């Protein structure tokens, strides 16, 4: 088995994939997706569940966001997984010398204290949405509505993994978000990067072949 404990190059795509495998956030086997498909791999960012993991995850996100060139004034993390993601990313950006505000939403409006559904910095300027993955695009749509209702401008989406998998039509969930909302989407890694990673690890050839077959059936052209 290849050693997944040490990243190859800090904050590279391959390093992130190794990191995700090490933390068992990225697993191989047979998993049923929300679409009812049997996928040979599964990604669950909720398993980045300790301080060191969250710190590293924020650094990976920050590197991908900076590399994307998306211009933004603040971050928005949709409840619930987006909340720790946004917090970890603004900490990583602050370590780079850029102090960025962030906000997140409650699932239910609060009728006392400060009230409302938005917690954190006021929504203003260009707002970058951060989440783990885009499946049906529901979280992005809700975030866009909240940001727009707050008088700010949604400017893009940052996710951890782009599965590059067809939705209901010929486009992937990410492509659908880009088309419907006109928002650029950046990711730390995608399915192609995962395949490239596995090609360099012969001991995982069976996983590579299974994912290639899955991509042939459900991947975008």
Domain ranges of the chain: 13-218
In the block, residue with structure tokens 């086997």: 29
Within 10 Å of residue 36's Cβ, how many Cβ atoms?
6
* φ, ψ for residue 174, nearest 5 deg: -65, -45
- For residue 168, what pLDDT is reported? 75
Q: Which pLDDT value is given to residue 7? A: 39
How far is Cα 218 from Cα 172, in angstroms, rounded to an integer?
9
The predicted pLDDT at position 33 comes to: 84
27/176 Cα distance (integer angstroms) = 26
In the numeric block, the tokens 């599965």 are attached to: 163
CB-based contact 153:112 (threshold 8 Å): no
Distance CA 90, CA 45 (A): 18
Per-residue confidence in pLDDT tens, the chain, 221 aa: 444 444 334 579 999 999 999 999 999 999 998 778 899 999 999 999 999 999 999 999 999 999 999 999 999 999 989 999 999 999 999 999 999 999 999 877 655 445 578 999 999 999 999 999 987 778 899 999 999 999 999 999 999 999 999 887 889 989 999 999 999 999 999 999 999 999 999 999 999 999 999 999 999 86
The topology (CATH level 3) of 13-218 is: Rossmann fold (3.40.50)
Size of the chain, expressed as the number of residues it contains: 221
Annotated active-site positions, please? 110, 112
Q: What was the pLDDT predicted at 6?
A: 40
């Amino acid at each position: 088995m290849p050693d997944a404990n040490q990243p190859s190059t800090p904050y590279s795509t391959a390093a992130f994939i190794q990191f995700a495998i090490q933390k068992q956030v990225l697993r191989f086997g047979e998993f049923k997706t929300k679409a009812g498909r049997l996928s040979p791999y599964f990604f669950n960012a909720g398993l980045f569940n300790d301080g060191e993991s969250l710190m590293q995850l924020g650094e990976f996100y920050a590197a991908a966001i900076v590399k994307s060139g998306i211009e933004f004034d603040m971050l928005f993390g949709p409840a619930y997984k987006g909340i720790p993601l946004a917090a970890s990313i603004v900490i990583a950006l602050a370590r780079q010398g850029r102090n960025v505000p962030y906000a997140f939403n409650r699932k239910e409006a609060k009728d006392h204290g400060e009230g409302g559904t938005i917690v954190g910095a006021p929504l203003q300027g260009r707002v970058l949405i951060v989440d783990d993955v885009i499946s049906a695009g529901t979280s992005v749509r809700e975030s866009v509505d909240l940001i727009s209702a707050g008088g700010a401008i949604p400017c893009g989406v940052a996710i951890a993994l782009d599965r590059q998998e067809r939705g209901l039509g010929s486009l992937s969930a990410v492509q659908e978000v880009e088309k419907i909302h006109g928002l650029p989407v950046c990711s730390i890694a995608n399915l192609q990067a995962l395949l490239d990673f596995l090609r360099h690890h012969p001991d995982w050839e069976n996983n590579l072949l299974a994912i290639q077959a899955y991509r042939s059936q459900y991947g975008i052209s």
